[in-house]
């Protein structure tokens, strides 16, 4: 038996559009990953606490509310505070290109928009987590 | 981090160390076994509560409500929530935390999700070891929630100190529950969703089923069927009290049985692994057509393959 890739999929904030997060969670499962789905309305503190307990390799946030800059930054700061240094923070939603670049410069992984092939998403997480935390 | 440092961290209450340690145990790696050895002296303090039942009975919601009551009573609680792995991809969607969000920021609660990795019985092969580690970390209660089980997948009953079987009204004919032996297996039967119509009559049917034969418990077990609502919280306090009231002597006896069971399960796994030895696998591939043609009997083929598997294992161990 081996350690599988574990990914936390969460919807932080108040927007209730969880279809995307569910589709992504199912796609990552189909790619052979173990996906912890936490559901709607998570605060950044809840997301990071769950990621710590679940010992995940990656956190995927779905944000459609426009609050992505605030939410990703807050989660990233809490991850640093809790010592989750080898965990990938990625995600997706309606996020303008320039904000993606801003967040990437601050240490957030790639962010994906509508229409991203699900295989691309899984391949990115597999490749990136292998570098950060070799299995 | 070394196994030794990890063990120290876990015992000292470092949650990150605990999370990492659980992954080691789950992986089946030698470090996981070494870690468990390192904390062996601290085992046995936590009361281990099993929660099982069919999918959709409300196990996660009930665990959430039990954790709330336990916290109100001052107990620190760990939850190990097992969900099924996909037989197609080997991946898993672990969704039990969705119902337990209210405890996300409570330091006295630790929730870990686990994929069953296709083990039978409603738990993963390493669930027992992970429960041990949670025990060693100093929690008063370790609640283990199984995969949604149907009939006779009751590994949890053999591992936990005390087990609640969770059912809900309108989940089908009581004959289903009777033939499965599900209700007789646990210490308590919980009829969840007690706020819904039909719940009281569901409880009455289970009580009546118990009363039919002495083997299934008889009329004396009527008190073991509890009407509870995880949604409203009704009956949860009593349920927790009943689960915690199992006498220490009974628990001690069950732990002896659980240890025996664990050795047995490990042997079964080791035997199952033998068939994957190259010598056995290639013989199996060669012999299958012969069995199909009728040149070799099935029994004879099995004897040959097993002999090759055991032989190659001995070979491999020779210095």
For residue A50, which residues of chain B lie inside 8 Å, CB to CB?
Answer: 97, 104, 111
Task: Write the CB contacts of B158 (distance below 8 Å, at least 6 apart in sequence).
Answer: B257, B258, B261
ipTM: 0.95
- Between CA B143 and CA B161 the distance in angstroms is 10
The answer to whether the Cβ–Cβ distance between B93 and A37 falls below 8 Å is: yes
CB–CB contact A55 B20 (8 Å): yes
More confident residue, A59 or B185: A59
Q: Which residues of B35-64 are buried (b: 16+ CB within 10 A; e: fewer)?
A: bbebbeebeeebbbbbbbbbeebbbbbbbb
pLDDT at B52: 93
Backbone angles phi, psi at B141, to 5 degrees: -125, 140
Chain B contacts of A53, Cβ < 8 Å? 15, 19, 110-112
Give the separation between CA A90 and CA B106, rounded to whole angstroms. Answer: 26
Is the pLDDT reported for residue B36 higher than 60?
A: yes
Per residue in A31-50, pLDDT (tens digit) is: 999 999 998 899 999 999 99
Both ends of chain A: CA-CA distance in Å? Answer: 12
Q: Could you tell me which residues come within 8 angstroms of residue B50 by beta carbon, excluding any fewer than 6 positions away?
A: B143, B144, B146, B156, B157, B159, B160, B162, B163, B164, B186
Confidence of residue A119 (pLDDT cuts 50, 70, 90): very high
Instruction: Say if the Cβ atoms of B111 and A50 lie within 8 Å.
Output: yes
Q: Which residues contact B303 (CB under 8 A, 6 or more apart)?
A: none
- Enumerate the residues of chain B whose CB falls inside 8 A of the CB of residue A25: 93
With an 8 Å Cβ cutoff, is B36 touching chain A? no
Smallest CA–CA distance from B79 into chain A, residue = A53
The alpha carbon dihedral of B82, B88, B90, B92 has a sign of negative
State mean pLDDT over B55-76: 96
Tokens of B51: 């929660």
Give the mutation candidate from A18, A24, A29 for the B interface (greatest B CB count, under 10 A). Answer: A29
Per-residue pLDDT band for B15 (boundaries 50, 70, 90) equals: very high
- In a mutagenesis test of the B interface, which of A49, A81, A83 is the best target, namely the one with the most B β-carbons within 10 Å? A49
| B99-156 pLDDT tens trace | 999 999 999 999 999 999 988 888 999 999 999 999 999 999 999 999 987 665 688 9
**Could you give the CA distance from residue A119 to residue A31 in angstroms, rounded to a whole number?**
8
Decide yes or no: CATH 3.40.50.300 for domain B43-246. Answer: yes
Residue B8's pLDDT is what?
Answer: 96
Q: Do A34 and B92 touch (CB under 8 A)?
A: yes
Q: Which member of A26, A37, A53 has the closest CB to residue B15?
A: A53
Domain coordinates in residue numbering, chain A: 6-132
- Residue A40's nearest CA partner among A66, A14, A71, A77 is A14
Residue B179: its pLDDT value, please? 63
Angstroms from A98 CA to nearest CA on chain B: 32
Contacts of B135 (CB under 8 A, 6+ apart): B42, B43, B44, B45, B46, B48, B142
Average pLDDT over residues A110-135: 94
For A6-132, which CATH superfamily applies? Cobalamin-binding domain (3.40.50.280)
Tell me the C-alpha distance between B279 and B290, whole Å: 17
pLDDT at site A52: 98
| Residue A42 forms contact with B (CB below 8 Å) | yes
Residues in chain A with CB shorter than 8 Å from the CB of B128 are none
User: Nearest CB to A31: which of B23, B91, B113?
Assistant: B91
Strands A58-63 and A111-112, by their bridges, are unpaired
- Residue partners of B286: CB distance under 8 A and separation at least 6: none
Is any Cβ of chain B less than 8 angstroms from the Cβ of A31?
A: yes
Q: Which of A2, A22, A27, A36 to mutate to test the interface with B (most CBs of B within 10 A)?
A: A36
Query: In this predicted structure, what is the pLDDT of residue B222?
Result: 83
Domain ranges of chain B: 1-41, 43-246, 275-317
Closest Cα partner for A61 from A49, A52, A74, A71?
Answer: A71
B211 closest CA partner among B174, B243, B236, B238 = B174
* Nearest residue in A to B18, CA atom: A53
No. of helices (H) and no. of strands (E), chain A:
5, 5
Question: Are B112 and A54 inside 8 Å of each other by CB?
Answer: yes
Lookup result for tokens 């699900």: A118
SS3 of B102-125: the string is HHCCCCCEEEEEEECCCCCCCCCC
* Total residues belonging to chain B: 319
Burial A67-95 (b: 16+ CB within 10 A, else e): ebeebbbbbbebbeebebeebbbbbbbeb
Pair of tokens at residue B292: 């199909």
8 Å CB contact of A37 and B26: no
What is the signed CA dihedral for A24, A28, A31, A33, rounded to 10 degrees?
A: 180
| A83, A133 contact by CB (below 8 A) | no
Min Cα–Cα distance to chain A from B173, Å = 32
Sign of CA dihedral B206, B211, B214, B219: positive
In chain A, which residue's Cα lies nearest the Cα of B22?
Answer: A55
């Amino acid at each position: 038996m081996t350690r599988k890739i574990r990914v936390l999929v969460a919807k932080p904030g108040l927007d209730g559009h969880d279809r995307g997060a569910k589709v992504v969670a199912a796609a990552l499962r189909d790619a052979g990953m173990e996906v912890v789905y936490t559901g709607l309305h998570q605060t950044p503190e809840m997301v990071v606490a769950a990621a710590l307990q679940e010992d995940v390799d990656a956190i995927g946030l779905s944000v459609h509310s426009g609050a992505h800059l605030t939410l990703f930054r807050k989660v990233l700061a809490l991850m640093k505070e809790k010592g989750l240094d080898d965990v990938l923070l990625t995600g997706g939603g309606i996020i303008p290109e320039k904000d993606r670049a801003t967040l990437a410069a601050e240490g957030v992984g790639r962010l994906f928009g509508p229409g991203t092939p699900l295989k691309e998403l899984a391949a990115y997480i597999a490749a990136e987590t292998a570098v950060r935390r070799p299995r | 981090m070394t196994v030794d440092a990890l063990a120290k961290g876990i015992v000292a209450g470092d949650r990150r160390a605990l999370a990492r340690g659980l992954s080691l145990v789950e992986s089946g790696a030698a470090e996981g076994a070494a870690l468990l050895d390192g904390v062996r002296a601290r085992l046995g303090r936590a009361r281990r509560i099993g929660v099982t039942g069919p999918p959709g009975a409300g196990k996660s919601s009930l665990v959430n409500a039990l954790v709330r009551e336990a916290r109100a009573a001052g107990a620190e609680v760990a939850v190990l929530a097992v969900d099924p792995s996909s037989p197609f991809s080997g991946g898993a969607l672990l969704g039990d935390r969705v119902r337990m969000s209210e405890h996300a920021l409570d330091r006295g609660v630790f929730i870990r999700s686990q994929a069953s990795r296709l083990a039978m019985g409603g738990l993963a092969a390493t669930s027992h070891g992970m429960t041990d580690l949670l025990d060693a970390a100093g929690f008063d209660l370790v609640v283990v929630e199984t995969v949604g089980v149907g009939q006779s997948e009751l590994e949890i009953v053999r591992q936990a100190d005390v087990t609640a079987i969770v059912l809900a009204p309108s989940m089908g004919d009581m004959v289903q529950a009777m033939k499965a032996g599900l209700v007789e297996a646990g210490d308590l039967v919980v009829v969840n969703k007690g706020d819904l119509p039909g719940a009281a009559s569901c409880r009455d049917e289970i009580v009546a089923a118990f009363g039919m034969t002495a083997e299934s418990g008889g009329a004396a077990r009527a008190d073991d069927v509890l009407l509870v609502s995880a949604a409203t919280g009704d009956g949860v306090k009593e349920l927790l009290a009943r689960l915690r009231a199992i006498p220490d002597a009974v628990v001690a006896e069950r732990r002896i049985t659980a240890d025996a069971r664990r050795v047995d399960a490990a042997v079964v796994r080791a035997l199952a692994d033998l068939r994957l030895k190259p010598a056995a696998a290639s013989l199996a591939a060669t012999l299958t057509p012969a069995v199909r043609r009728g040149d070799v009997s099935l029994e004879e083929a099995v004897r040959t393959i097993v002999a090759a598997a055991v032989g190659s294992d001995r070979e491999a161990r020779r210095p």
